[in-house]
Structure 1
């Protein structure tokens, strides 16, 4: 029986807790939140004893010694909390995305876990969503021929983009990316978890197996769907605007078809992500949402920013430490400090 501690008892923390509650192999023994009332409420729902309620996560780690920790706090707090959890001796960490505000912090988080043998996952939970799983099946079983290009449309490259970059890798069987070209525009302040975002953005990616990707972000993307997968003999669209969750067009079919989802797992995506982590902790398999995979998606975010900064194609691996977006804003290249 694995002991679980949850750090951050807001909406995402509650979603993680539902996943642990669905498993017979774990027990939530403690929860921590600076707003203690959030921890108290979680304790009531999940039968956590009063002694397991904390406002200081460090105290929780020291006293409860959990095997698994969920980190469900704002992105800028991830680094310190995850490193503290690793040093406290946890076996596994399930963290919210994005990984960290900078590429350097993201790499160090992952490496710290590798060095100490800690299994870390980041909640790119759409890998468990039925329409996304079906899209991957159809992209790889010949229905649309050979996968050639993937597209995504969303509000920003960082908070939303991390999901679609991760899905691009998912559809393409986690093949390594080769290069990235990107551009960003800043016209008004937008933030996610107190991290500055672009107003509009573009990212064009090439993978080593000759699949290409395009992510368009901002105020008017014109995509018509969340994701589009284009093959040599057809096309798939996922979450069509004012339309179905998934549809496919391919040779030999008359127009758009709605594929059945009967053969793909169903359930709450986050709950399924937690259950997968627990199973992999028992079996030693790599989790579907592993830190290695999260790092691939995160690299594309910061490579897109770096391409905009350097006005160049960025060949991977990405050899920077900062967030080029945040650095350009601080230096007045873009943003409210811009010096015209």
Structure 2
């Protein structure tokens, strides 16, 4: 029997994605449609026209289109729910889904939440109610990433000493992918401490949440591996340039780069390369790091884990480890100190620094 699936937060049709959304629900829905054991049966969006357009696209019955997600959960009783709303309302909706008797799995868009308390609430609810809660860090399912992990596990660069990343946009939005991948390469170890600094002078609001313009962060895992990275959302040079690749793995006998950056005049760089004897060697992979097919793969793996009773890679517990590093970076910048983990805050230090006037970003030119 197929798993019944519902989507909360359809968004507008994704013809022109921008700073306020990519209509990720459409990509989730395509993933469920491509899975033989899933049946997309309902959708909800506070803008009814958006929900109706989504229903037309995916052949959902008119009586299964809702504006209120709670009414949808009660009427349809879906087994799986995808949550594709802005981060500020992730926690309340995901917890409501987890607490509903019919829901066995909730798959939510990243980042987890705009407060650390919200992120913790989702992880705690998932454990308390024994419901599978996952977050869409789909880049883990890139062949370039999986091949890099295989090479690492096979000892191609010796013992892992450090994981690195460079991220555009911000440490919260895009950076959640970057740090999640660092954790994946470090065998899901938890960080013991984090130290960071941010620069924020021009508003960088994505999906309703502040993201700094530039950042630097360093941390150490409980297994002794170090992590570090840089963010540059300004486009005029910054800390990300020190790393110049999506992720780098530094071992005792060599280096692996996933998504190395190329110069403007160079040919397209490979998705994956390895250096063990002073020379870089490209490694052929089926794909790079940016493909909507990864959402399909993430959904397929979540469904497999649900059926097998296994803990999924994209679990709330794993997502929380990355989220703790992000919020720890902001708290370090606020306290001007190293932050020992577990993190002892509930809110959002970056938002709170803006509200307190400690950071005063000017409006973006296009918003003035």
Residue in 2 that maps onto 1:15 = 27
Q: How big is the shift at 1:109?
A: 1.4
**8 Å contact from structure 2 (residues 143, 287) kept in 1:** no
Q: In structure 1, what is the Cα distance between the partners aligned to 2:259 and 2:350?
A: 29
SS in 1 for 2:36: coil
**8 Å contact from structure 2 (residues 6, 42) kept in 1:** yes
Q: How big is the shift at 1:262?
A: 6.4
Query: Does residue 213 of structure 2 align to residue 188 of structure 1?
Result: no
Query: Does residue 257 of structure 2 align to residue 225 of structure 1?
Result: no
Q: How big is the shift at 1:310?
A: 1.2
Count of aligned pairs between the two proteins: 334
**8 Å contact from structure 2 (residues 45, 68) kept in 1:** yes
Q: In structure 1, what is the Cα distance between the partners aligned to 2:284 and 2:175?
A: 27
Query: Does residue 113 of structure 2 align to residue 103 of structure 1?
Result: no
Query: Could you say what the CA RMSD is over the residues aligned between the two structures, in angstroms?
Result: 1.9
Q: So what's the TM-score if we normalise by structure 2?
A: 0.87
Q: How big is the shift at 1:208?
A: 1.5
Q: Deviations over 1:157-206 (max 9, x none)?
A: 10011111100010111112111111111111111111011121111011
> 1:214 is matched with which residue: 228, 248, 266?
228
**8 Å contact from structure 2 (residues 353, 359) kept in 1:** yes
**8 Å contact from structure 1 (residues 153, 215) kept in 2:** yes
**8 Å contact from structure 1 (residues 140, 147) kept in 2:** no
> 1:37 is matched with which residue: 28, 32, 49?
49
Query: Does residue 252 of structure 2 align to residue 238 of structure 1?
Result: no
Q: In structure 2, what is the Cα distance between the partners aligned to 1:202 and 1:224?
A: 13
Query: Does residue 223 of structure 2 align to residue 203 of structure 1?
Result: no
> 1:258 is matched with which residue: 282, 297, 305?
282
Q: How big is the shift at 1:37?
A: 2.6
**8 Å contact from structure 2 (residues 272, 284) kept in 1:** no
SS in 2 for 1:97: coil
Q: How big is the shift at 1:267?
A: 8.4
SS in 2 for 1:269: helix
Q: In structure 2, what is the Cα distance between the partners aligned to 1:154 and 1:226?
A: 7
Query: Does residue 68 of structure 2 align to residue 48 of structure 1?
Result: no
Q: In structure 2, what is the Cα distance between the partners aligned to 1:180 and 1:84?
A: 32
Gap regions ≥5 residues in structure 2: 12-22, 263-268, 363-368
**8 Å contact from structure 1 (residues 187, 335) kept in 2:** yes
Q: So what's the TM-score if we normalise by structure 1?
A: 0.94
Q: In structure 2, what is the Cα distance between the partners aligned to 1:325 and 1:47?
A: 42
Residue in 1 that maps onto 2:365 = none
SS in 2 for 1:257: strand
> 1:88 is matched with which residue: 66, 85, 100?
100
Residue in 1 that maps onto 2:81 = 69
